[in-house]
Amino acid sequence: LLVARAGLGTINHTFLSWYYMKSMGLEPIGIVMNGFEGKDVSERTNPLIIGELTGLKPLEIPKVEGLILPSEYRNLLAELVGF
């Protein structure tokens, strides 16, 4: 599971990490865009572009206060990793 930042600059890092995982024989089961706020254009378009580059549809996880993710997103994450 590749967890990436949601904001500006993440396309390059996410793609290169995904590429290296695959090169090393690891098959990524999903990509999480973490800390999503949707404030700027890059945040809103990053998932689409990363999806096109990798063939994986990134799961956007919003920025939350504290350490506990709302159950809605915990469920989506569990689904993504197959639990």
Residues in 8-67 at the binding interface with a second copy, rule: CB under 8 A: 13, 16-17, 19-20, 23
Q: What's the closest the beta carbon of residue 25 comes to a second copy, in angstroms?
A: 14
The CA angle 9-31-47, to the nearest 5 degrees, is: 50
| Closer to a second copy by Cβ: residue 34 or 62 | 34
The structure tokens listed for 37 are 């706020």
Region at 61 (left for phi over 0; alpha for psi -120 to 50; beta for the rest): beta
| Closer to a second copy by Cβ: residue 16 or 78 | 16
Q: What's the closest the beta carbon of residue 51 comes to a second copy, in angstroms?
A: 19
Binding site for a second copy (CB under 8 A): 13, 16-17, 19-20, 23
